[in-house]
Structures are given as structure tokens and as C-alpha cells.
Structure 1
Amino acid sequence: PATTMALYRIADSCTNSITPMSTSFVLCVGYLQTLNKKAGIGTLISFTLPCAVIMFVVWLALFLAWWALGIPLGPGAPVR
């Protein structure tokens, strides 16, 4: 269960910046529109999508290294 939760949190944290359902998404669009009046949802997603992909790759590599070394995820929560 701990490994599944860790993988879920990796995927969820990476998509938080590109989902319009985020609580701060509207604030980010508003701030972006102070810099560029024509900016909208697509502009914000196109700016944050590369960061989300890079963050996912880095988190996944870190998890795979953690899993390969067999380090426990917490007290009483083995990774395998």
C-alpha cells in the first residue's frame, strides 16, 4: 500500500500545475494576463507543461532508484 501511495502522490503532484481544477489556477491566469493581455488557459498550460513533465521524470527516477536500493518508505512500510 505504501508503494502505491507513493506512486499516486508522484503522479498527482506533477499534474497539479496543469489542471484547471487547481485552486490557484485562476490566480495564475490573472497574473499572467497582467504581463500579456491575450494570455489564457492554454498559455498557462503551455508554460507549465514542460515543468510538469520534467518534474514527473525526476520524481519517477528518484522513486526507481529508491525502489532499486530497497530503502523502506517509512517505519514498517517496505518498498517491495
Structure 2
Amino acid sequence: MSKRGIEELVEDFFDVPSSLGSISNLEQATSEAVAAPVEEVARVILEGFRTTTKRRTPSVERWSCSPTRCSTPGIACAMAP
């Protein structure tokens, strides 16, 4: 959903005035707030995968999950450099 769509939803649904700047600020704050838990979940998932496959899989280790690597709120996985 676009920032403008979120702004309209907040104003229409909650009857609260908002701006694109406030949506962007909340998006950034949310990304920062969930960064540590997302990294922990990614670590646990990768450890579980290595345990169940009983071998090391280099291609899996190259993936890095981060909520700050996407242009919209949420979590995205991207190849690590």
C-alpha cells in the first residue's frame, strides 16, 4: 500500500488528520523497533534449517533479512553483499 493510501486510510477510518511526513516517520520508527526481533527470528530459522538438513548450506547463509531494506513497511529479504 502506498504512503498516500495509508494516509487516506488513517484519515477516513480513524478520523485522524495525518500527513505523508508522519506516515514516513512512523514507518521508520516501526522498522527500527522490529529490527532486533527480525534478526533473531532469521538467526533461529537458519539454525533450524542447518540442524534439520545435517549439512552446511552456503547459499542459505547468503540471505540477510532486515525490515530496513525495503521501500515499504514490513520485512524483506535481500542477498547480502
Kindly indicate which of the two structures has a greater share of residues assigned to strand: 2
Normalised by the length of structure 2, the TM-score is 0.44
Normalised by the length of structure 1, the TM-score is 0.44
Structure with more relative contact order (C-alpha pairs < 8 Å, separation 6 or more): 1
